[in-house]
Structure 1
Amino acid sequence: MTDRTGRPRRFNPFTALGPGLITGAADDDPSGIATYSQAGAGFGLQMLWTVVLTYPFMAAFQSVCARIGRVSGRGLAANIQRVFPPWIVVGVVGLLLIANILNIAADLASMGEAAALVIGGDQHLYTAGFALVTLALQVFVPYHRYVRLLKWLTLALFAYVAVAFIVHVPWLAVLHATVMPKLKFSAEEATLVVAVFGTTISPYLFFWQASEEVEDIAPAGEHPLTQAPAEAPAALQRIGWDTYVGMAFSNLIAFFIILSTAVTLHAAGVTQIQTAGQAANALRPIAGDFAFALFALGIIGTGLLAIPTLAGSAAYALSEALGWKEGLERRFSDAQGFYGVIAVAILAGLALSYSPLDPIQALFWSAVVNGVIAVPLMVVIMLVATARTIMGGFIATPLQRTVGWAAVAIMAVASAVMFSQFARSG
């Protein structure tokens, strides 16, 4: 990789942050905040270990997805279609679209609730406003400009770090609970562990990061690595840095959400939290107005980041599966199907947020659908990442293969536990 003068471009750790950072931040969406808040409120410090454990598996798997996009110059769905029959790809993508719409509905509802808590007014009006703003930005703002906004939105997540430093934190107890948790292995605890794993390692993130790597190739004057192997050292170094930092950022924020709710809500006896908005509101009498406002505004900020990721990942996946032109850098007239999927996903999510469907039920069914597709999809992705017909000489590294398959095994166990719990409760 060279600069305009033809000299090798020096690695810049700040400008190298891109798809990985955005993907990691989008993982801490309002739905994720609700799950992490449930963990902290319900079990105190004893759930901190979960986000530490998930980090290496999440980072390794996302780096595999990013590698596939950068090496092949195609998104995940397009590459999967080269190995498996189209009907399988369309089926998986269809389930992804359903899960993402349910997640969008829950996120929009949480954002509207948070806005109403902070500034008052009609929650549904705010929900509609957030939906229309995110839709307009994706359709009318070119990717190379829009991605800058997404990067800035990641700063909203530092609100959860700030909350932890506003209240009293017993740091020695935090360290002890993180490295030596007291596990009871109750059904409720097992279910919540599965929920944390499921919200941290999510299928929509796989599609999004791979596609954003593809989006970044042309504007940077680069090429798929199968066509330009000389670009590989710099490109793979950037992907490694970007992804591992981005996922560390994601899990750090999740850690502080669990921590802040543990030392405030759980300590005060508030153990039942259903939504991110409830967590914010419950903080007010315990931690004060400032902590409440930071927590609530963080919900809005991360929602503005997550909804485009949810809708965009579905649009990339479905467009690739059906052979449509896709890409946020394209004009609407050049990729009507792609932008149509984004519009349908966001507006359908908005409609569900107005419907009698409870946001908690939306999250429940989203988790079920993700549980159905996560493990087989992860298996397929690992097979693609090791296929020389697709990856050429840039197949996943031995470390990526080892940790990637371990992530598959962990998610398989998590999904099995989730469905067994559903069966018992049913």
Structure 2
Amino acid sequence: MNIDQAPCVNAFRGLWERLKEHPLSRIGPGLITGVADDDPSGIATYSQAGAQFGFNMLWTMPLAFPLMAAVQSMCANLGRVTGIGLAANIKSAFPPIVLRGVVLLLLVANTLNIAADVAAMGEVAELVSGVDRHLMTACFVFGTLLLQMFVPYHRYVFFLKWLTVSLLAYAAVLIAVDVPWSQVAVRTLWPRFTLDANAAAVVVGVFGTTISPYLFFWQASEEVEDMAARRGSEALLRDPRSAVVELRRIRWDTWSGMLYSDVTAYFIILATAVTLHAAGVTDISTAAQAASALRPLAGEFAYLLFALGILGVGLIGVPVLAGSGAYALSEAMGWKEGLERNVNDARGFYAIIAVSVLAALGIQYSPISPMKALFWSAVINGVVAVPLMVVIIMLVSKKSVMGAFTASRFLIVLGWIATAVMGAAAVAMLLPR
């Protein structure tokens, strides 16, 4: 029988064609950006919030949602309207020292964050499979690196979009446990806790995890990538005819992607509150520790869902972290960039990705603790986020940059509120305890 006529081959081809036509395959960068926001280090932060404070940290998610969505919308609009990424826009509108400082700190923070993420993935993989965590960490690092370097973006992003389904694991965890929903609703709207140093640190961690600089660069650049992947599509400044459709798509894509991310973070806090906090387990350092602690309390099903969710979002988060730094530095240096280009055509861009993930892998074998790496990543992100958000708001408010597509007053107001919240978080984080 001809192999092309084999039933399994035909079935696979049919499934592939159906997947390509699925509405999920047409969703833009907002969904991936939202899921990358809930990376393994973010899951550790949310788990600590739930374990330590129970339902009394759920309020952070409804507050964070409009703020994170507004900032990401501004970044997406900036990329689609101008046809260049965030770093390239900063380069054209501000002194070189502004861009250099931001990009340098971004690269350091991203590398440390990748180190924490891949360490968590390795730990979880060892829990699930029994294979040594260092070996699993190396497999994840080289696997994501090879995919980014040798698989064209339009194919690679297709699989990333399907990986976003892994976040549903955290909603499913709640099926396996009893949730007092009336109490959850009350504490979400009316929390009870003392705003001492410990509570402030958790609030800072939650907001610092939710509104992160690497996501700003990623979403702006991925709008440019998506535009370049569509034949005949140009920046809205040069071809405004599709502006209404494109800006509506960005608005829907970004707000829905951030909502998906925010609701998932809410579920993680809730799941750990109703299990770990209720059982007196109040100190969680890693996402893998949270998954392991769930096992005797919520059962094998909840444990496996939580663990597999960590692996799924890690496979999205690591490429986003590495890619955002590569976009930023390549645009700053004037190098060719883009995941759609082959390695020989954008050597500098792919070299940055390779150095970032390999340096992160090296940290696993150094005296540096992955959790210390995560702490310093949070500190750097807290320092970078505030001035960077000011720069973004200034860019999207300028007609010289955005033409007729400057940001709405609604987005600008939310952007300044987000900046104030992150500024207060950064100050609280840097104060001695």
TM range (shorter): over 0.9
**1:16 Cα deviation (Å)?**
5.1
TM-score in terms of structure 1 length: 0.95
- Cα distance change on mapping 1:13 and 1:180 into 2, 3 Å: farther
Give the SS at the match of 2:364.
helix
Determine if contact 2:28/2:226 at 8 Å carries over to the other structure: no
Does residue 230 of structure 2 align to residue 231 of structure 1? Answer: no
**1:183 Cα deviation (Å)?**
3.1
Matches within 5 A, 1:95-174: 95-174=105-184
**1:398 Cα deviation (Å)?**
1.0
Separation in 1, partners of 2:387, 2:23 = 34
Corresponding residue for residue 4 of structure 1: none
Deviation sequence 1:38-84 (CA, Å, 0-9, x none): 00000001100101110000001100000000000000000001111
Separation in 2, partners of 1:29, 1:15 = 21
1:309 aligned residue (320, 331, 337): 320
Deviation sequence 1:329-377 (CA, Å, 0-9, x none): 0010000000000000000111112212112101110011111111001
Does residue 192 of structure 2 align to residue 182 of structure 1? Answer: yes
**1:302 Cα deviation (Å)?**
0.6
**1:218 Cα deviation (Å)?**
2.0
Determine if contact 2:24/2:162 at 8 Å carries over to the other structure: no
Determine if contact 2:55/2:269 at 8 Å carries over to the other structure: yes
One-letter amino acid of the counterpart of residue 418, structure 1: M
Separation in 1, partners of 2:88, 2:143 = 29
**1:85 Cα deviation (Å)?**
1.7
Determine if contact 1:16/1:238 at 8 Å carries over to the other structure: no
Does residue 259 of structure 2 align to residue 251 of structure 1? Answer: no
Separation in 2, partners of 1:183, 1:384 = 39
Give the SS at the match of 2:405.
coil
Corresponding residue for residue 212 of structure 2: 202
Separation in 1, partners of 2:398, 2:23 = 30
2:42 aligned residue (16, 28, 32): 32
Determine if contact 2:322/2:357 at 8 Å carries over to the other structure: yes
Does residue 286 of structure 2 align to residue 280 of structure 1? Answer: no
One-letter amino acid of the counterpart of residue 292, structure 1: Y
One-letter amino acid of the counterpart of residue 203, structure 2: V
Separation in 2, partners of 1:334, 1:233 = 34
Give the SS at the match of 2:242.
helix
Matches within 5 A, 1:16-95: 17-95=27-105
Corresponding residue for residue 372 of structure 1: 383
Separation in 2, partners of 1:383, 1:315 = 23
Separation in 1, partners of 2:229, 2:354 = 25
Please, what is the CA RMSD of the aligned residues? 1.1
Give the SS at the match of 1:184.
coil
Give the SS at the match of 1:81.
helix
Separation in 2, partners of 1:298, 1:263 = 18
Give the SS at the match of 1:272.
coil
Separation in 2, partners of 1:15, 1:270 = 40
Deviation sequence 1:123-169 (CA, Å, 0-9, x none): 10000000000000000000000110110110111111110111111
Corresponding residue for residue 5 of structure 2: none
Separation in 2, partners of 1:168, 1:180 = 21
Corresponding residue for residue 382 of structure 1: 393
Deviation sequence 1:394-426 (CA, Å, 0-9, x none): 111111111111111111111111111xx23xx
Corresponding residue for residue 293 of structure 1: 304
Corresponding residue for residue 318 of structure 1: 329
Determine if contact 1:30/1:299 at 8 Å carries over to the other structure: yes
Determine if contact 1:16/1:241 at 8 Å carries over to the other structure: no
Separation in 2, partners of 1:216, 1:274 = 37
- Cα distance change on mapping 1:394 and 1:80 into 2, 3 Å: same
Give the SS at the match of 1:269.
coil
Corresponding residue for residue 8 of structure 2: none
Separation in 1, partners of 2:300, 2:365 = 29
Corresponding residue for residue 5 of structure 1: none
2:422 aligned residue (395, 411, 415): 411
Determine if contact 2:25/2:158 at 8 Å carries over to the other structure: no
One-letter amino acid of the counterpart of residue 384, structure 2: I
Separation in 2, partners of 1:387, 1:227 = 17
**1:14 Cα deviation (Å)?**
5.0
Corresponding residue for residue 17 of structure 2: none
TM-score in terms of structure 2 length: 0.94
Determine if contact 1:109/1:353 at 8 Å carries over to the other structure: yes
Deviation sequence 1:107-135 (CA, Å, 0-9, x none): 00000000000110211000000000000
Give the SS at the match of 1:144.
helix
Does residue 408 of structure 2 align to residue 397 of structure 1? Answer: yes
Separation in 2, partners of 1:78, 1:213 = 14
One-letter amino acid of the counterpart of residue 259, structure 2: A
Alignment gaps of 5+ in structure 1: 1-11
Separation in 2, partners of 1:136, 1:87 = 33
Separation in 2, partners of 1:172, 1:48 = 13
Give the SS at the match of 1:393.
helix
Alignment gaps of 5+ in structure 2: 1-21
**1:290 Cα deviation (Å)?**
1.2
Corresponding residue for residue 7 of structure 1: none
